[in-house]
């Protein structure tokens, strides 16, 4: 019976979300994203980011536009920083 629990835990482990580092996300954001715009794009009334998936896609587009060589973890950190600081998606 215990081997079933271990197997189930091992199967579920890859599905766990990345643990985002908000402070690291802020550092990456400030060093890269602020080259093109200020934080007004996150607070304007007509912003087009309506969910966390859209935010992730936009961060991926932007990091390529500025030539940043971010890992998936870096992207998750920036998304978490932006969500926590501006968007507050559920």
Domain spans of the chain, in order of start:
19-87
Confidence of residue 17 (pLDDT cuts 50, 70, 90): very low
- DSSP state letters, 7-60: HHHHHHGGGSPP---HHHHHHHHHHHGGGT--THHHH-TT----SHHHHHHHHH
The tens digit of pLDDT for each residue in 31-67 reads 999 999 999 999 998 888 999 999 999 999 999 999 9
Q: Which residues of 2-15 are buried (b: 16+ CB within 10 A; e: fewer)?
A: eeeeeeeeeeeeee
What's this model's pTM, rounded to 2 decimal places? 0.78
CATH number for region 19-87: 1.10.760.10
């Amino acid at each position: 019976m215990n081997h079933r629990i271990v197997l189930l835990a091992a199967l579920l482990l890859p599905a766990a979300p990345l643990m985002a580092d908000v402070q690291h996300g802020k550092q990456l954001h400030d060093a890269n994203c602020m080259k093109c715009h200020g934080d007004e794009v996150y607070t304007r009334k007509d912003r087009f980011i309506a969910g966390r998936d859209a935010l992730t896609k936009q961060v991926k587009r932007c990091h390529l536009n500025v030539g940043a060589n971010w890992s998936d973890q870096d992207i998750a950190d920036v998304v978490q920083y932006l969500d926590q600081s501006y968007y507050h998606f559920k």
